[in-house]
């Protein structure tokens, strides 16, 4: 396709080319994305605009007759106070072919392009991005149709494949394990200790689970725990009060680093454990003593056990990839048919208006000469005739769309009915 054609385009900075520091630099909050979208509306006025920003990617999908990569990155840089625009340009990937951009959004939304294949969170993040676009009235018929087609394909993936089954990341496997361990508890209390990348990921995944309403976070640097707790709406715990919180917690998920276990055998032995206390140790080296399970009531699950769960899940998800690709291909085919029909939609509307104008002019000449009953019959008959005449032209026009050769028929109709002078 020519780059001068109005079409969907994409600009992305993802984990494939950008490290964590750069992804953090360009990441946009909901408010930041809204501000950037409003700025782009004023600068380049795209017909459709969607900004998706997660820990692994910041991507912009937009319809325009020209690539707008520099303007988009300038808007992000302005929003996040970034001075080195060339750094962003060097790390960004452009897609200026509509079909490629559409397929890319499918792959992202369904989890094929995630660091963790089959990511369970990404489809909800796409839905939130779409809601933001709709709120700002920056989605036209094309983007509305595309997103709803993607959501329907996502539903098929869940119903027809094993692509989203199980936990394929260590952090999410820890959350699933915590759910299993606390099935018999009415309101389990969970304590997360250590807020590095994995710890934060665990916290966010836990916060999405309605089952866990009592989640507490603790970190050696108290301010980090306070900041995260404030953002998500959880309870921060001062590191000085760690053992008091361990005493009252049902599940402790630890991802702290250190030369020696933070949860040593002697300290664990001092705890009053009525039933069971579960430790999920995500640290390497381990943060829970190797002899911890010698303490009555203490049960420990380490990262190797979680990895076994994630390996099995990942294997099943990879096996389901061909099914997911087939669902995407089918959805793309339907969307392509609709997109082609959109091209001829203005011509069909002009044809309807031209025929309606002829009908109205003829009715105006003769309706005064007949009774009200006869006028109603004439109205009904002429409308029916007009619909059949339109259908005679529309059916072959839509068939030509699917073949990709509608231009000639559009030209003939324009000449026959002088449609260029009709407003679409």
The verdict on 133 and 24 lying in the same domain is yes
If one counts the domains in the chain, the total is: 3
pLDDT single digits (tens) 101-145:
999 999 999 999 988 788 877 898 999 999 999 999 999 989 999
The verdict on 156 and 174 lying in the same domain is no
Return the residue matching tokens 């915590």.
178
The verdict on 16 and 148 lying in the same domain is yes
CA dihedral 26, 310, 315, 105 (to 10 degrees): -20
The verdict on 151 and 176 lying in the same domain is no
Last residue of a domain, one of 112, 127, 160: 160
**Under 8 Å between Cβ of 143 and 60:** no
Can you name the residues that pair with 61 across neighbouring β-strands?
Answer: 10, 50
The verdict on 124 and 269 lying in the same domain is no
Q: Does residue 327 belong to any structural domain of this protein?
A: no
The verdict on 59 and 131 lying in the same domain is yes
The verdict on 39 and 120 lying in the same domain is yes
52-80 burial code (b ≥16 CB/10 A, e <16): bbbbbbbbbbbbbeeebbebbbbbbbebb
d(CA 118, CA 25): 25
Q: What are phi and psi of 403, to 5 degrees?
A: -80, -15
| pLDDT, position 248 | 94
pLDDT single digits (tens) 143-167:
999 999 999 999 999 999 989 887 6
d(CA 109, CA 106): 5
Q: Does residue 318 belong to any structural domain of this protein?
A: no
| pLDDT, position 143 | 95
Contacts of 27 (CB under 8 A, 6+ apart): 53, 54, 55, 58, 80
| pLDDT, position 62 | 96
Residue 320 CB-half CA count within 13 A: 24
Q: Sheet harboring 7-14: ordered strands across? A: 49-53, 57-64, 7-14, 93-95
Return the residue matching tokens 């780059």.
3
Mean pLDDT of 224-240: 93
Mean pLDDT of 351-379: 83
Domain CATH for 236? 3.40.50.720
Q: Does residue 290 belong to any structural domain of this protein?
A: yes
Domain CATH for 120? 3.30.460.30
| pLDDT, position 2 | 39
Q: Does residue 132 belong to any structural domain of this protein?
A: yes
**Full residue range of the structural domain in which residue 186 is found:** 170-301
**Residues present in the chain in total:** 424
The verdict on 152 and 177 lying in the same domain is no
Q: Sheet harboring 214-218: ordered strands across? A: 235-237, 214-218, 189-193, 251-254, 277-281, 298-301
Q: Does residue 322 belong to any structural domain of this protein?
A: no
Last residue of a domain, one of 131, 160, 189: 160
The verdict on 409 and 362 lying in the same domain is yes
| Active-site entry in 38, 47, 55, 269 | 55
Q: Does residue 320 belong to any structural domain of this protein?
A: no
The verdict on 50 and 143 lying in the same domain is yes
Q: Does residue 238 belong to any structural domain of this protein?
A: yes
For this structure, is 55 an active site residue?
Answer: yes
Q: What stretch of H or E contains 271?
A: none
Q: Compute the Cα dihedral for 135, 138, 141, 143 and give only its sign.
A: negative
pLDDT single digits (tens) 67-100:
999 999 999 999 999 999 999 999 999 999 999 9
Can you name the residues that pair with 13 across neighbouring β-strands?
Answer: 58
Q: What are phi and psi of 7, to 5 degrees?
A: -160, 170
Tokens of 10: 């994409």
pLDDT classification of 192: cutoffs 50, 70, 90: very high
Q: Which of 273, 112, 250, 126 is nearest to 189 (CA)?
A: 250
Q: Does residue 148 belong to any structural domain of this protein?
A: yes
The verdict on 215 and 152 lying in the same domain is no
pLDDT single digits (tens) 9-27:
999 999 889 888 898 899 8
Tokens of 211: 């089952």
This model's pTM is above 0.95:
no
Last residue of a domain, one of 243, 267, 301: 301
The verdict on 260 and 242 lying in the same domain is yes
């Amino acid at each position: 396709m020519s780059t001068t054609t109005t079409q969907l385009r994409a600009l992305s900075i993802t984990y494939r080319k950008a490290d964590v520091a750069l992804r953090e630099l360009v990441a946009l909050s909901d408010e930041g994305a809204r501000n950037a979208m409003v700025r782009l509306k004023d600068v380049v006025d795209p017909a459709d605009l969607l900004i998706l920003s997660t820990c692994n990617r910041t991507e912009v999908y937009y319809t325009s007759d020209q690539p707008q990569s520099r303007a988009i990155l300038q808007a992000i840089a302005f929003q996040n106070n970034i001075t080195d625009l060339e750094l962003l340009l060097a790390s960004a990937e452009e897609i200026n072919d509509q079909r490629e951009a559409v397929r890319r959004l499918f792959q992202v939304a369904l989890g094929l392009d995630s660091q963790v294949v089959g990511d369970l969170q990404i489809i909800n993040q796409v839905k939130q991005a779409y809601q933001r676009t709709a709120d700002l009235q920056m989605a036209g018929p094309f983007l509305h149709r595309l997103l709803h087609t993607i959501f329907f394909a996502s539903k098929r993936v869940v119903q027809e494949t094993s692509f989203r089954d199980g936990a394929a990341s260590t952090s999410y496997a820890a959350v699933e394990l915590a759910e299993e361990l606390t099935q018999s508890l009415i309101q389990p209390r969970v304590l997360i200790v250590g807020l590095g990348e994995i710890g934060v990921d665990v916290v966010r995944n836990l916060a999405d689970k309605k089952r866990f309403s009592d989640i507490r976070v603790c970190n050696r640097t108290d301010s980090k725990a306070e900041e995260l707790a404030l953002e998500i709406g959880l309870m921060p715990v001062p590191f000085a009060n760690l053992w008091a919180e361990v005493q009252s917690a049902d599940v402790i998920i630890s991802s702290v680093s250190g030369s020696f276990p933070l949860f040593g055998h002697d300290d664990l032995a001092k705890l009053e454990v009525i039933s069971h206390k579960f430790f999920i140790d995500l640290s390497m080296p381990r943060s829970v003593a190797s002899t911890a399970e010698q303490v009555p009531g203490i049960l420990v699950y380490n990262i190797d056990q979680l990895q076994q769960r994630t390996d099995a899940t990942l294997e099943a998800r990879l096996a389901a990839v061909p099914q997911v690709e087939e669902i995407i291909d089918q959805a793309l085919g339907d969307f392509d048919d609709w997109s082609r029909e959109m091209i001829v939609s203005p011509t069909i509307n002009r044809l309807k208006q031209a025929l309606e104008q002829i009908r109205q002019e003829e009715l105006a000449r003769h309706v005064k000469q007949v009774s009200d009953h006869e006028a109603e019959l004439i109205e009904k008959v002429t409308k029916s005739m007009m619909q059949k005449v339109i259908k005679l032209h529309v059916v072959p026009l839509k068939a030509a769309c699917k073949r990709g050769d509608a231009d000639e028929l559009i030209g003939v109709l324009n000449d026959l009915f002088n449609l260029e002078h009709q407003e679409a």
